[in-house]
Amino acid sequence: MKKEIKFSLLYRDMWQSSGKYVPKVEQLEKVAPAIIDMGCFDRVETNGGGFEQINLLFGENPNIANRRWTQPFNDAGIQTHMLERALNGIRMSPVPADVRKLMFKVKKLQGTDIARSFCGLNDPRNLENSIKFAKEGGMISQAALSLTISEVHTVEYYTELANTLIEMGADEICVKDMAGIGRPAFIGKIIKNIKTAHPKTTVQYHGHSGPGFSMASILEAARAGVDYVDVAMEPLSWGTGHADVLAVQGMLKDAGYAVKEVNMKAYMEVRSMTQEFIDDFLGYYINPKNRHMNSLLIGSGLPGGMMGSLMADLGNNLESLNKWLIKRNKPTLTQDDLLIKLFDEVEYIWPKLGYPPLVTPFSQYVKNLALMNVLQVIKGRERWSMIADNIWDMIIGKSGKLPGELAPEIIELAKANGKEFFTGVPQEQYPDNLDVFKKEMDDNGWDYGQDDEELFELAMHPEQYRAYKSGKAKADFEADLAAQKAAKEPKPAVVEVPAGAFEPKSMIIDVNGEKFKVGVSYDGVDAAPAPAAAAPAKEEAAPAVNGSVASEVIAPLEGKFMLTKDTSETALKVGDKVKEGDLVCYIESMKTYNAIVAESDGTVAAILKANGDSVDEDDVLIQLS
């Protein structure tokens, strides 16, 4: 009898691996029936990870989206699964235990069957609560092995990790090859060991196609006894995404496995609708380079799911960097120049940081630190001079135990910065906190929502939820989308006018709302001199401050200005006294919080940015008197 292998469609991860945003709920509802009609999927990945945070960012309620998106699959008997990050839940930073517990209850009631839980450090202590809470909430617990290649990440390492997670109660195991750098034979040995020791445990393989190993890896996984394979489909398969279901189905069928047939009419409908969503607005956030495979990813090991945001981050940082270079009469860089420098730096620093598997959030941490190092070195500064708080937490053990040993220079750097290493259970640092958010809901008159789902959303994504409720998120998204569209509109052709055909003598110029009449000269001859009494253009008025400005807090990088990073902190206000070295604010850049400190004693005279404002490098944030 042929071994049956089933397929799971990664309709969430397809988008995250390609760009920044995901389809809106109406689009998801539209495509769901055609996905079902394809007839080849036993599972569909519907939510979790960055998917729900993105809903909030463009002003859509993720709870409504989840319920309406999962319902058709529930009705059709197709299992739905979500991705969650253990200690970090479905965000980038650690989550209190009571919020984590509520998440699994809410997601099950919204229609999600399976919780795929991974810890970016593969620390079983972080996964233990995920397994427990998922099962208590009525979900199937699928614990993931975050796969990477290093001297400490061996077949034996992953085999033992799988054994530990199954002993903890995990119903299933996912071999999560998030960067697609797992070598096929390596993957096959791990899966074979799991299936030999636990023949009744379901094993699912997840791999990205970017570096080029994916088809061989899937075949080796099948030979080793895998039960489910994650797949994508055009126009979002391959590249930094995943192998296409048609290719995988054809390969496995030829190799003698029992696989379901694909309804090609429905396949083409899903393909067409997905392209329609890209053309609507999602394509403005998809970098064309993410549609290409790139074997340079083998060395850096950066995951496919991060590449969509990475290219956007690179573009933003490149623009800022080139402005800095131009000011100093230095040659500018291309995006490819910066990308290669980044890949090289990731390879250099990764072993020094104890080999954290490059998966969310630690892939972002390593990438961000590498990028900060590259930018600082280009500017003639020291490596390691810009380390965000989240990254320090990873280094000193607050996020979990690193797989390898830190380099001596990193240990010394931590000590020099007054950091204390933590060896306890990470969850102990983040006590229950739901009551704080219940009070906020009550104070604002906000409804807790069906099954407490709105309370959960606030507790999981406080800043994004508040921006969603105020309407700021939607307004910001619409403004950004308009800017993206305008940037890609064809520029009007330049019409050359013969000399002398039209030579105005003067023009009216509007400067900050004030109009000035100026003369126009041709070949150095003044046509109409500007009036001598014309007032100069007004400069933007400096903010009023109490007394003279003694010093300024300057943005060392671009990002979003944040006075606090969580509810445990008290925001700085005008009149507060600060000392040199005191934390005064943060800049959120590339999903991490960079602490900004005062460089001198003083009293806060003015805070020049509002919470959530975008800032550029060298912007003045705070004035001290």
Whether the per-residue pLDDT at 503 is higher than 70: the answer is no
CA dist 560 and 291 (Å) reads 28
pLDDT of residue 525: 46
Tell me what the mean pLDDT of segment 510-524 comes to: 54
80 vs 49, more confident: 80
Mean pLDDT of 524-541: 40
- 521 pLDDT band, cuts 50/70/90, is low
Higher pLDDT, 82 or 617: 82
The count of residues in the chain is 625
Residue 144 forms beta bridges with which residues?
174
CB 368 within 8 A of CB 587: no
Q: Pseudo-torsion of CA 618, 619, 622, 625, nearest 10°? A: 70
Q: Residues 368-426: pLDDT tens digits? A: 899 889 988 988 888 998 898 889 999 999 999 999 999 999 999 999 999 999 999 99
Virtual torsion, Cα 166, 167, 171, 172, nearest 10 deg: 0
Q: Find out if CATH 3.40.50.150 is the number for domain 551-624.
A: no
Confidence at residue 533, expressed as pLDDT on a 0 to 100 scale: 40
- Mean pLDDT for 33-48 is 97
Query: Residues 236-260: pLDDT tens digits?
Result: 999 889 999 999 999 999 999 999 9
From 145, 87, 91, 144, select the one nearest 115 (Cα to Cα). 144
pLDDT band at 170 (very low <50, low <70, confident <90, very high): very high
pLDDT-derived band at 487, boundaries 50, 70, 90: confident
Structure tokens at 270: 């899903």
Report whether pLDDT(441) > 90.
yes
Q: Chain-wide mean pLDDT for the chain?
A: 88
**Residues with Cβ < 8 Å from 264, sequence gap 6 or more?**
none
Per-residue pLDDT tens for 334-376? 888 888 888 889 889 999 999 998 887 888 888 889 988 998 8
pLDDT band, very low/low/confident/very high, at 309 (cuts 50, 70, 90): low
With a CB cutoff of 8 Å and minimum separation 6, the contacts of 505 are 519, 520, 527, 528
What is residue 498's predicted lDDT score, i.e. its pLDDT?
Answer: 53
- Model confidence at 558, pLDDT cuts 50, 70, 90, reads confident
| pLDDT of 538 over the 70 cut | no
Q: List helix spans (H) across 328-451.
A: 335-349, 362-378, 389-396, 408-416, 434-444
| Residue closest to 473 by CA, chosen among 60, 65, 90 | 60
Residue 179 pLDDT:
85
pLDDT of residue 544: 46
Name the H helices within 39-96.
50-57, 62-76
Q: What percentage of the chain carries pLDDT values higher than 90?
A: 62
CB distance 219 to 184 below 8 Å = yes
| pLDDT score recorded for residue 53 | 87
Helices first, then strands: H and E counts in the chain? 21, 20
Report yes or no: 261 and 39 within 8 Å, Cβ to Cβ: yes
